[in-house]
Chains A and B, each alone.
Chain A
């Protein structure tokens, strides 16, 4: 079974990041690298990425065959960070036998120690006959 571990960025996680020392930030990044390696070594890693700032996003839609592109929104507030609702900051896609194991992996994501991460089962194209 594949599970997606979603890491959201929100005002709470940004506030925590803001207070971190350089050493703490380095350790946080290293935590992600080590988790990647651990997942790969265990044979459960399918994909993982961190996403660039949402201000770099493009929203794409097609109407009557015409492609429209809208820029990502940046709402400047007091801080240097985009003060938006939650946005996706990164993910791990893993392949493990059960939700319990997916949760155990999610607990190792450094962000889980700060805020929380979300585990979502991935829909499969296979199915049993009824």
Chain B
């Protein structure tokens, strides 16, 4: 699992606070963000050999402020801004992280841009790190970030927490979940840099949860991430191949993460209005219980989820649970009734149900169909091997 070095920990925690302080002092998010990025790079270069300064945050703010002036100086068109008076050290405020998060997840931005900007401005990752994690060139990430900042400028968004920020929270949660999934679905060994995205998403969601403890869906999201991430050590083999949930070695699951996730989701379900992330977390919590899986409970939760947040994948998962409760024939009938099409997971589920009902010839064909439709290499290998077993 991704673990940050003490230096990374300091830099990433400080990044949004430093950026918040600098933007509040000078107002220009665009240049300030570039300046903070350069200050972080300078710190990562200098501190290991020269030692960490007594007040790392003040150091970063000072260097970023200076760098910002230099960046503006190098830009003839913005020369007039040079005249700003020399600065008192800008101060740090508790709301900065939330304000930044809401700004980076601005609805005018594409999801690709929201992810890149959030990782850099709130997460304190360098452009190079983001590129390695998202498997795209550094220049591509750089473009996404500058494009995002231009959109923010054009939309007239400023560095203040909007009064209606709670309406923007669904978008923020979605971006954090997207970052988590980018990392979570990475097979271990194949890309450790991607796995780091899950760690980062959990860190940011934890911060958000601490800031908004009464938001049930933020709590649900955090619990869902923790409960899903707890299975990471068991979900892939050292060669990167996938281990289905039912076949996972549960002793490899991270108990501390499960306990924390269960505690958070239990409190959220008790104290707040129910929502999709809470329901998904509740399902993950049931899966994490020791002993035989309580499928009737999971089925009930999926039925609820189908009401709260309907979608083809939710229906498909409900059918999987239904088949566990009522048998594969019932599952196959439900699958036919739901008339789902076009996604490899549908074929994979049908294959599994056919196999369990004893129709190995049809199961084999469906496994091969699913293998052709998937865009994931480990999934393709898994589905092909299931098909081969039925030969």
Task: Say if the beta carbon of A42 comes within 8 Å of chain B.
Answer: yes
| 39-87 of chain B: CB within 8 A of chain A | none
Closest to A3 in B: B375
Closest to A1 in B: B375
Closest to A47 in B: B137
| 330-386 of chain B: CB within 8 A of chain A | 345, 348, 352, 374-380, 382
Main SS at interface, chain A = loop
Task: Say if the beta carbon of A113 comes within 8 Å of chain B.
Answer: no
Closest to B232 in A: A129
Task: Say if the beta carbon of B191 comes within 8 Å of chain A.
Answer: yes
Expressed in whole angstroms, the Cα–Cα distance for A122 and B376 within the complex equals: 9
A126 & B112 in contact (Cβ 8 Å cutoff): no
Contacts of B250 in A (CB 8 A): none
B112 & A41 in contact (Cβ 8 Å cutoff): no
- If the complex has contacts A46-B137, A129-B245, are A41 and B379 also in contact, measured as CB distance less than 8 A? no
User: How many of chain B's residues touch chain A, expressed as a range?
Assistant: 35 or more
Task: Say if the beta carbon of A59 comes within 8 Å of chain B.
Answer: no
Expressed in whole angstroms, the Cα–Cα distance for A80 and B8 within the complex equals: 60
A123 & B185 in contact (Cβ 8 Å cutoff): no
- If the complex has contacts A1-B375, A45-B140, A124-B376, are A130 and B244 also in contact, measured as CB distance less than 8 A? yes
Shortest distance in angstroms between A26's beta carbon and chain B's nearest beta carbon? 27
Closest to B190 in A: A125
Shortest distance in angstroms between B340's beta carbon and chain A's nearest beta carbon? 16
Task: Say if the beta carbon of B318 comes within 8 Å of chain A.
Answer: no
B137 & A126 in contact (Cβ 8 Å cutoff): no
Expressed in whole angstroms, the Cα–Cα distance for A41 and B145 within the complex equals: 11
Contacts of B141 in A (CB 8 A): 43
Contacts of B187 in A (CB 8 A): 125-127
Show the binding face of B for A, using Cβ within 8 Å.
110-113, 116, 134-137, 139-141, 143-144, 147, 182, 185-187, 190-191, 194, 231, 235, 240, 242-245, 248, 345, 348, 352, 374-380, 382
Per CB-CB distance, the 4 closest pairs between chain A and chain B, nearest first, are A43-B144, A127-B376, A126-B185, A43-B143
Other A-B contacts than A1-B375, A127-B382, 10 sampled, CB-CB below 8 A, are A40-B143, A123-B376, A124-B377, A125-B240, A125-B376, A126-B182, A126-B186, A126-B190, A129-B235, A130-B242
